Chain A
């Protein structure tokens, strides 16, 4: 029973990643694609958690925190590039 629920939730998360991938491919503008990539990262975090339940191990718990940090830094970098044109400024004002 529990394994069936976990498998169903993994399938729903995979379907959500596929739907978000449609927005990445046919996003009209660049910010749409950036937000969709951030959402794929969040879905990957929950998929890693579900996979650690399926495989019955705690070895993937660092991966969850790591993906959260990397998705945040990547989104900040992308949005700074869209807004200002440079990712790392040399000197502010």
Chain B
């Protein structure tokens, strides 16, 4: 008998977008409020885990064709390049700065280079969590 998972699959299709929006909110919220790259990455990976629970592993691999081991290297590279980039301006390693810019839609926002370092943390957390869960899931 084939199992019938139509309720959990339909709920997942709505909930994944809400969880992804919440994770992006937590990621950008981390400079002045609770949040940051670590918890944002964990929420993004929990959205993908919910997809894996409602569907199966091969379907998730087909709709997200990402090699997560490469994504770990990309995240570490972004973090190291942000740290090394401070040498171009003659300041010590890992120096951060910020400034106020006027963007077209958002108006005046504060952009900090700590956001780029946090992007590296985000990518590494997502990739490590999903690598662990995919490796444990493929047990045959």
Q: Is the CB of B22 within 8 A of A69?
A: yes
B residues near A77, Cβ cutoff 8 Å: 53
Contact of B56 among A66, A76, A88 (CB under 8 A): A88
Q: Is the CB of A92 within 8 A of B53?
A: no
From B42-50, B75-83, B120-128, give the one contacting chain A: B42-50
A70 to chain B, nearest CB (A): 7
From B66-74, B91-99, B110-118, B132-140, give the one contacting chain A: B132-140
Separation of A61 and B132 alpha carbons in the complex (Å): 29
Contact of A69 among B33, B43, B54, B55 (CB under 8 A): B43
Q: Looking at chain B's contact residues, is the secondary structure mostly helix, strand, loop, or mixed? A: helix
Q: Is the CB of A88 within 8 A of B57?
A: yes
Contact of B50 among A62, A73, A90 (CB under 8 A): A73
Q: Name the residue of chain B whose CB is nearest to the CB of A79.
A: B8
A84 within 8 A of B: yes
A38 to chain B, nearest CB (A): 14
Q: Is the CB of A73 within 8 A of B56?
A: no
Q: Is the CB of A90 within 8 A of B57?
A: yes
Interface residues on A, range: 20 to 34
Q: Looking at chain A's contact residues, is the secondary structure mostly helix, strand, loop, or mixed? A: helix
B12 to chain A, nearest CB (A): 9
Interface membership of chain A positions 51-81, coded 1 if the CB is closer than 8 angstroms to chain B and 0 otherwise = 0000000010010011001101100110010
B24 within 8 A of A: no
B13 to chain A, nearest CB (A): 14
Q: Is the CB of B43 within 8 A of A89?
A: no
User: Chain A: residues with CB nearer than 8 A to chain B?
Assistant: 59, 62, 65-66, 69-70, 72-73, 76-77, 80, 83-84, 87-93
- 9 A–B contact pairs at CB < 8 A? A65-B22, A66-B43, A70-B46, A72-B15, A73-B50, A87-B53, A90-B57, A90-B58, A92-B56
